[in-house]
Amino acid sequence: MPARILAPDDLALLLGTAPGLFDRPVDPAQARAFLTDPLHRMAVVTQGAEILAFASGTILLHPDQPPSFFVNEVGTREAHQRRGHAKAALTALMDEARTMGCQGIWLGTEAENTAARALYRRLGGEEVPFIGYGWDGAFDLD
């Protein structure tokens, strides 16, 4: 299935997302802010009015270099995993970032997330040593 980039008029689709795709229920104010912010992007694979998979990210601006792109999250409904949906969503998101002039796309994942790591390698990602730090609950999922 092909993926597409969400636009501000896709708010109802995002708000209608059933549990099981995102970590938490979709917050209407945050969803609206995300979709209307020119630095945020989300690619989705849908079946009817249901989002099966998504990839989201943010354009990072720097005063001394071209913009880069941070992939924030990639997810697929459990019943639709291993069908290429995450690959389609992430490919569409990376294509969008490149079209917008981003020079450098990056993300991080947990060492034990073997499925995600395999996907990123299949898409030509280079695995690099990376140490992350968080403040103020940055990595809390509750």
CATH class of 4-122: alpha beta
Predicted confidence (pLDDT) per residue in 34-71, tens digit: 999 999 999 999 999 999 999 999 999 999 999 999 99
pLDDT band at residue 139 using 50, 70 and 90 as cut-offs: confident
104: region left, alpha or beta (phi > 0 left; psi from -120 to 50 alpha): left
Average pLDDT over residues 12-18: 96
pLDDT for 141 beyond 80: no
Three-state SS at 17: coil
Percent of the chain with pLDDT over 90: 89
**pTM of the shown model:** 0.93
* Longest Cα–Cα distance in the chain: 44
Q: Is 140 a residue whose pLDDT tops 90?
A: no
